Structure 1
Amino acid sequence: MFSSLVLAATLAATPAPRSAASAQTVVHVPKLDAMAGLTAFLERAGTHAALLRPSAWRTELHPFLVLDPTKPESLSAFGLDPAGPATVSLRADGRVSCMRVKDTKVFQEKAAEAMTAAGGEEAKPTTSKGVTSVSAKRAAGGVMGYALKGQEVCSFGATDEGGGALLKESVKLVGKAPAADARLGKVAGVAYLASGGTVVGLDGSGSALKVEGTALKLPLPPFQARGTSPYGTMKPEGMLFSRVSVTPAGVQQAVGSLRSTIQAVCPDCPKEQVRTVADTVAKQLTGNMLVNMDNVQVRGSLRAPEARFFAVRQALAAEVTDAAAVKSALAPLGNFPGAKTLADGWVLAVKGGNVFVRLKGKQLVVGNDEAVTQATVAALPETGAKLERAADFSLDPKRFARGLDQVSLADVLADEQLAALFAVSSELGPLLERSERITGWMDSAPGGAHRFSMTWLLPEAK
């Protein structure tokens, strides 16, 4: 009996969007009047990033009605329920928007006015099996309409070829109760977005945005929570500070990436010896790691591998099981071209700068900047502490924005990845400069997925 009640409560709490079949992206809001906090953040953030302004995306809520979900009276004026749900499904042939109707007569009158204005022809409703449907052509091309049953309505806007299919889909959606979507039930939020293998839940307040989600095929190693981390008591500093715990496969992935990068900036380093050193060290790593990116200092074109490597002043730390074995495995570094032996490690002279490899107790630290490497080594604590998640991070948005500003136009035109960074800088740079902190965590999830959470903080409003 108790388990049945728990199951019933869980199903009741799981969002149930009226999402169209074959939708590429679905946006679902369980209760439109619960978005006040999220809207408050977007309104404030939107003063510095136009893309986030509610006015920039509110026209996407409905195919032919101009609604403002931030104003309940706007929805009521069209006969829609401000406390009801809304689901927008984006398909290759158009979109479907499902909402709850509060006043059927008002909705039909307003819908007829809007469709007539957009289509140049009167929209005539027909009723069959309790479903009232309307379909009309747009003067600008395409088809629009809706299917209405009881208090549920699904409106659509489609290409000429997709009009019939979306009308049938809308009739189908209002004809039955929506099923709970387990994907959305795994994350918290007042609004949800599902696209491909990614599901995101959003919530917020006037000074904070909360994002939770799950994603497939992220370019990240598999994480493995261990509870205690040797870096658990360290305080976040610099541009990006992250503590992670990865599986043995994740260790191999991380070490392999670092090995490839070092080989690229040190082409004279003996390839087989680099590989042997990396493979031997990887076997001694516990999986507990630390990433400490201090700031960005771009020198030269980022199209060159050495310029990319040294653009971010950073150090990486990793816990080892046997410090003596690791020191022995790293000994060949002293014979590499341009290498120098330090009291606690080695420094390699490579294209564009130096790579520092140092040992402190059971901690291996690799960095591309002397000051950042020394600071990281000095900050390593004697004892560890428990971490709630397999990975956590803290980002200084101001330093990140200054780093993005250093990407040159020439590099942007020559590289798609840098072009994406430039787009982020152009759109979000002013907001990042006015933000306090971005923090979050990550975990691995079944099926090769990752679960993540992020909190974006703005200064308290004055």
Structure 2
Amino acid sequence: MLSFVLAASLAAAPSPRAATASETVVHIPRLDALQGLTAFLAEAGQNAALMRPAVWLAELHPYLALDPSQPDSLQDMGIDPAGAVTLSVRTTGRVSCTRLSDPKRFQQKAAERLAAGSGKSLEIKPTTSAGVTSVLVPREAGGQAGYALKGQEACAFASGGGGFVDDGQGKVLLKEASRLVSQTPKADAKLAPLPGAAYVVMPKRGLVVGLDGTASELRMEGTSTELPLPPFQSASGTSPYGTMKPGGLLFSRARMAPAGLAAAMGSVRASIQQACPACPAAEVSSVAREVTERLTGHVLVAVDGVRSRPNVRTPEGRFFASRLALAAEVTDATAMKKALAPLAKFPGARALEDGHALDVKGGSLFVRLKGRQLVMGNDEAVAGSVLASIPETGGMLPHAVDYSVNPQRVASGLKQISLMDVVGDQRLAALFTAGLELGPLLTRSANITGWLDSASGGAHRFSSRWTLAPTR
């Protein structure tokens, strides 16, 4: 029975005609099934130029412009609109394999583009060997380009280096393209469980993602062995935060495995030590260790937003830039209170009715304990709001982690990073650029939601939905 299920799964799995040693592989099982994804890109592209379909579709082929929304244009190039496309990106160039409806028409269009790309009057003369028809010509920009064709399968390629010197990579890609058109591609079991009209695979990063969408929603589901995340419990069950309503910039619930708790608390300890350098390192580590041992694994992360005009050029400014709180369920409230007692002796400590506050450079840290709920935060109002909103009874969560992001608050937060901030700290350049490129699209978006589960071998499976707000 197991062998039958496995065979059925492989039979249903997409079969990319992918080149070996690829950094990235993009596989589209059917070009005519890409309309939903391109519809989202077209809609999103009205607010973010880098999301426009033309930007991404231009990468699908080394020298032909493929537009799945125009099946007649594909037919005009001899490409089957119902066929598959597999793009393989290597460090030395690209290989794009397509199913043909008219091989002679494809050869004609390819010859026109290859001749134009050579920068001179060049007669394209295909050669045939062992049933494979091929072309290899120099490119004006450097490197070489061409294709290999057999039957109704064609793999076009272009090498990226060499300049005006033949570095041999064009012939390497030609050999690989000839191999690809001569063999039946194997079903990829990694893609079978993932829904999608297009797939992105990064073998060296252990990442496989399926993408699909509509004009108002982008759907993404995938697996990865390299996500910088701790392990989570495989089944979350009832969470004390299960019935809480998501809000703020980020709202996320999770149930961590013991090893994940240790890693997460290690990060919290490092952040506290950075915000309070005068706090004794040994004592901070001891308290973190004692706290970790008294947690059930159920945690909540709530980021309300970004403070107005934070000084993100300093460590303390970055620490207090976002207004956040972390909640965690404890196994024993009395034991946890005892574990937190050493905080009273830390520099800048002051007692609260239900915990401790640490006044440090740039702001204050709050640690509060109410019943079996421990809340830590860098903003008194957010910490208090989270603590007050935790219900007495929990609810079921179908996944180990779920999250909800408010794109408009993200856009507002990105606006707080100025050009002068980038001049002062180059590490902020990526966030500044994201604000410029994606800010208008995020402002126009309704929400981003998703979930994550741990998988075998240290991998994670994840899913996300990006929904645009209705146009007025």
The reply to whether TM is greater than 0.5 is: yes
2:150 aligns with 149
Inter-CA distance 226–201: structure 2 relative to 1 (3 Å threshold): same
Cα distance in structure 2, aligned partners of 1:350 and 1:151: 69
Cα distance in structure 2, aligned partners of 1:5 and 1:447: 24
How far does the alpha carbon of each residue in 1:287-344 deviate from its partner, in whole angstroms, 9 at most, with x for none?
A: 1100000000155532322111110001100010011000011112122222221221
Inter-CA distance 215–5: structure 2 relative to 1 (3 Å threshold): closer
Aligned to 1:340, the other structure's residue is in SS state strand
1:372 aligns with 382
1:181 aligns with 188
Cα distance in structure 1, aligned partners of 2:354 and 2:2: 59
Query: Which of 208, 221, 227 lines up with 2:230 in the alignment?
Result: 221
Inter-CA distance 343–448: structure 2 relative to 1 (3 Å threshold): same
Cα distance in structure 2, aligned partners of 1:141 and 1:273: 61
Amino acid across the alignment from 1:140? A
Q: Quick check: 1:62 aligned with 2:61?
A: yes
Equivalent residues of 1:206, 1:461 under 8 A apart: no
Return the TM-score normalized by structure 2.
Answer: 0.95
Return the TM-score normalized by structure 1.
Answer: 0.97
Cα distance in structure 2, aligned partners of 1:445 and 1:418: 33
How far does the alpha carbon of each residue in 1:106-151 deviate from its partner, in whole angstroms, 9 at most, with x for none?
A: 1111111221222231111111121111111122322111111111
Cα distance in structure 2, aligned partners of 1:59 and 1:406: 34
1:383-398 to 2 correspondence within 5 Å? Answer: 383-398=393-408
> How far is 1:408 from its partner?
2.6
2:102 aligns with 103
1:22 aligns with 21
Aligned to 1:60, the other structure's residue is in SS state coil
Q: Quick check: 1:456 aligned with 2:455?
A: no
Query: Which of 209, 219, 223 lines up with 1:210 in the alignment?
Result: 219
Cα distance in structure 1, aligned partners of 2:41 and 2:185: 29
2:87 aligns with 88
Cα distance in structure 2, aligned partners of 1:63 and 1:26: 14
Cα distance in structure 2, aligned partners of 1:309 and 1:141: 48
1:140 aligns with 141
Cα distance in structure 1, aligned partners of 2:155 and 2:426: 39
Aligned to 2:359, the other structure's residue is in SS state strand
Q: Quick check: 1:232 aligned with 2:242?
A: yes
1:31-430 to 2 correspondence within 5 Å? Answer: 31-119=30-118, 120=120, 121-158=122-159, 159=161, 160-161=166-167, 162-195=169-202, 196-197=204-205, 198-224=207-233, 225-297=235-307, 299-430=309-440
2:5 aligns with 6
Equivalent residues of 2:35, 2:68 under 8 A apart: no
Aligned-pair RMSD on alpha carbons? 1.5
Equivalent residues of 2:241, 2:395 under 8 A apart: yes
How far does the alpha carbon of each residue in 1:240-285 deviate from its partner, in whole angstroms, 9 at most, with x for none?
A: 0000111111111111111111111112222222211111111001
Cα distance in structure 2, aligned partners of 1:405 and 1:461: 23
User: Structure 1 stretch 208-217 or stretch 29-38: which is displaced more?
Assistant: 208-217
Equivalent residues of 2:311, 2:321 under 8 A apart: no
Inter-CA distance 4–220: structure 2 relative to 1 (3 Å threshold): closer
Cα distance in structure 2, aligned partners of 1:416 and 1:384: 44
* Structure 1, unpaired ranges of 5+: none
Equivalent residues of 2:57, 2:66 under 8 A apart: yes
Aligned to 2:58, the other structure's residue is in SS state helix
Amino acid across the alignment from 1:170? A
Cα distance in structure 1, aligned partners of 2:287 and 2:61: 59
Cα distance in structure 1, aligned partners of 2:4 and 2:403: 38
User: Structure 1 stretch 384-393 or stretch 441-450: which is displaced more?
Assistant: 441-450
Amino acid across the alignment from 1:363? Q
User: Structure 1 stretch 6-15 or stretch 311-320: which is displaced more?
Assistant: 6-15
Equivalent residues of 1:115, 1:122 under 8 A apart: no
Amino acid across the alignment from 2:196? G
Amino acid across the alignment from 1:351? K
Instruction: Give the aligned length.
Output: 461
Inter-CA distance 443–301: structure 2 relative to 1 (3 Å threshold): same
Aligned to 1:172, the other structure's residue is in SS state helix
> How far is 1:414 from its partner?
4.7
> How far is 1:188 from its partner?
1.7
Amino acid across the alignment from 2:223? T
> How far is 1:62 from its partner?
1.2
Cα distance in structure 2, aligned partners of 1:194 and 1:353: 44
Aligned to 1:182, the other structure's residue is in SS state coil
Equivalent residues of 1:29, 1:85 under 8 A apart: yes
Identical columns (%): 58
